[in-house]
Amino acid sequence: MKTVKRSKVSAVWIGWVILGLLLGACVPAATPTPAVVEKPVEVTRIIEVTPTPPATPTPRFAGVTLTLLDNPEGQTENMIALQKRCEEKTGIRLNVEVVPHGEVRPKLLAALANKLPTYDLFYVDIIDLPQYAAAGYTYPLEGFLTPEMRADILPFAEKGVIYEGKWIALPWKAEWMSFVYNKKMLKDAGYDRPPRTWDELIQMSLDLKKKGIVKYPMVFSWAANYEQVTVDYVMLVKSLGGELFDAQGNPVFNQGAGVQALQLMYDMMHKYEIIDPAALTLRGGGKRRDVMLAGQGAFVFLWGTPLLVMNDPAKSPRAGEFDIALAPAGPGGPYSVAGPMGWAISAYSKNPEAAWEFLRCIAGPEGEKFMFLKEGAPPGWKSVLNDPEVSMKLKQAGGDVMLQQAAFLAMRPALPYYQEWSAAMQKAIQEVLTKQKTPQKALEEVAAYTRELKAKYGR
């Protein structure tokens, strides 16, 4: 009996190993073009071995290897091409590490908190920039910048790269939210244009509701612990002509437009009933987009280039019904929100000069122009926007509205304690929208907490 069992156990093990090997071998082998799999490795190897063409006679940084940290969305084919171009130009060998979008932060912190030179280049979201800069994780760019560059930056992109008056990063893909509406629904209700103000939007929504076209015309996603809640609040405060902080950095969102904005959120949900209360459980632009695609909403704010998917018959059941307009205005203007990013150099990089050279190639005017022409990524430099090739392409793409919006972009506050502030704000807004607190009371509490944070972390 014992021997039988033992042989069975070993047979199980053999089976395990065989199955494991089979699966392991099969899965990558199923790739139709194994050559593609090897591509990035091959590319870099070729660059290293074959001397670069005479266009760049002696690259200063030949032999230097840099590591860049990015998320999957960043590494498009065009970005890969741009990186390759910059490798050729500078002689630097680039090692790209791609990490899930939500995981860039822990990954980066594991290296930076230990002061390790693991990464040379990484991107920073505007909301993280003050925190990273204050912690001393970023290499100061002041010494590298040319006066032309300082003069060339676009005003809203500037906020994404400068903290306490110092350049921390170079601007990158400054995206913002666009106001998307369903033109077919509006037409059915007898409107031939999108709403221009928040009052108009409320009127139209009530009308759409009354005519039975859509139950909850305005689509938001205000789930808990979700940055979008803060984003939408910041937008409304700015639209209503208010500010979050005064010139000394003291909270003023607990008075005037700050309170009105939260009241407007409440009214749209509970008084006019044009926002679905289920919005408090929705998270992700994908959910907002889905609601629109299912015909359960008429107005929405979406990041990036949403129409690419929404008007594509292969991906959208309502292709062709959507269009972009300027955001509805309040007394402050037709504001939307920008979420600019920047590329930064690690304070612990062993080759900051080489990193700067590479950074300039990628996120400088030339690189940004390339990325705009290839995939319409909004540039952060004036010279790129004024470039004839770019402005022509912009006109073709109907970027007029997007460009108009660029003049009205609100920014979230640059605070080294932004994470806490935003989390407190999100909680306060949720408490108001679930009828636990009044806007005034909830915002007073956030203001008090903000003052505490400022006392602790402000310098």
- Asked if 37 touches other proteins (CB under 8 A), the answer is yes
- Dump the DSSP string for 30-91: T-S-HHHHTHHHHHHHHHHHSPPPTTSSS-TTTT-EEEEEE-TTT--HHHHHHHHHHHHHH-
Which residues in the 61-100 window bind other proteins by CB under 8 A?
A: 71-73, 75-77, 80, 97-100
Q: Which is nearer to other proteins, 363 or 442 (CB)?
A: 442
Q: Which of 90, 131, 178, 405 binds other proteins (CB under 8 A)?
A: 131
> Judged by CB under 8 A, which stretch of 129-137, 149-157, 257-265, 389-397 contacts other proteins?
129-137
The residue (of 273 and 431) whose beta carbon lies closer to other proteins is 431
Kindly tell me the burial class for residue 255, based on how many C-beta atoms sit within 10 Å of its own C-beta (0-12, 13-18, 19 or more): middle
d(CA 63, CA 61): 6
- 320 belongs to the binding site for other proteins (CB under 8 A): no
Nearest to 168 by CA among 204, 201, 126, 205: 126
Looking at residues 341 to 360 of the shown chain, list those that interact with other proteins (rule: CB under 8 A): none
Q: Which stretch binds other proteins (CB under 8 A): 105-113, 235-243, 323-331, 362-370?
A: 105-113
For residues 326 and 333, the answer to whether their CB atoms sit within 8 Å is no
Cβ proximity to other proteins, 65 vs 197, nearer residue: 65
Residue from 14, 81, 116, 397 that binds other proteins (CB under 8 A)? 116
Name the helix (H) or strand (E) containing 339. Answer: strand 336-345
Where does this chain touch other proteins (CB under 8 A) — which range of 19-27, 82-90, 183-191, 197-205?
19-27
Contact between 210 and other proteins per CB under 8 A:
no
Largest CA distance in the chain: 87
Q: Which two tokens stand for residue 251?
A: 């909270």
Instruction: Find the binder of other proteins among 85, 89, 93, 105 (CB under 8 A).
Output: 105
Task: Figure out which of the listed residues 178, 205, 254, 316 binds other proteins, where binding follows CB under 8 A.
Answer: 316
Q: How distant, in Å, are the alpha carbons of 193, 336, 337, 400, 414 from that of 408?
A: 20, 6, 8, 13, 18
Residue 457 in the binding site for other proteins (CB under 8 A): yes
Quick one: which of 14, 36, 397, 448 contacts other proteins (CB under 8 A)?
36
Report angle CA 129, 134, 138 to the nearest 5 degrees.
65
Out of 14, 81, 135, 392, the residue judged to bind other proteins by CB under 8 A: 135
Say whether residue 20 binds other proteins (CB under 8 A).
Answer: yes
Where helices occur in 160-226 by DSSP H, the ranges are 183-188, 198-210
Measure the CA–CA gap between 146 and 167, rounded to whole angstroms. 12
Pick the closer one to other proteins by CB: 41 or 151.
Answer: 41
119 vs 167, beta carbon nearer other proteins? 119
- Our finding on whether 145 is near other proteins (CB under 8 A) is no
Closest CA to 241 of 218, 264, 270, 217: 264
Binding mask 384-423 for other proteins (x = CB under 8 A): --------------------------------x--xx--x
Q: Which one-letter amino acid corresponds to residue 159?
A: K
Q: Which of 46, 109, 397, 407 binds other proteins (CB under 8 A)?
A: 109
Which residues make Cβ contacts (< 8 Å) with residue 420, sequence separation at least 6? 449, 453
Other residues' Cβ atoms within 10 Å of the Cβ of residue 163 = 22
The Cα 5–Cα 23 span in angstroms is 27
Query: Which tokens belong to 17?
Result: 């190993």
Q: Which of 144, 220, 303, 372 binds other proteins (CB under 8 A)?
A: 303
Q: x/- contact string, 215-244, with other proteins (CB under 8 A)?
A: --------xxxx------------------
Nearer to other proteins, 2 or 148 (CB): 2
Main-chain dihedrals φ then ψ at residue 182, nearest 5 degrees: -95, 105
Question: Closer to other proteins at the Cβ: 116 or 407?
Answer: 116
Query: How many binding residues for other proteins (CB under 8 A)?
Result: 97
Instruction: Report the nearest approach of other proteins to the CB of residue 307 (Å).
Output: 9
> Which residues are 341's β-sheet partners?
125, 172
CB 121 within 8 A of CB 358: yes
For the record, the structure tokens of 205 come out as: 């929504």
**Cβ 206 to other proteins shortest distance, Å:** 21
Helix (H, G, I), strand (E, B) or coil at 369: helix
Task: Answer yes or no whether residue 180 interacts with other proteins by CB under 8 A.
Answer: no
For other proteins, the closer of residues 245 and 457 by Cβ is 457
Is 431 among the residues that bind other proteins (CB under 8 A)? yes
According to DSSP H, which parts of 217-267 are helical? 227-239, 257-266
Write out the binding residues for other proteins, residues 256-285 only, by CB under 8 A: 276-278, 280-285
Which range in 32-40, 48-56, 179-187, 258-266 contacts other proteins by CB under 8 A? Answer: 32-40
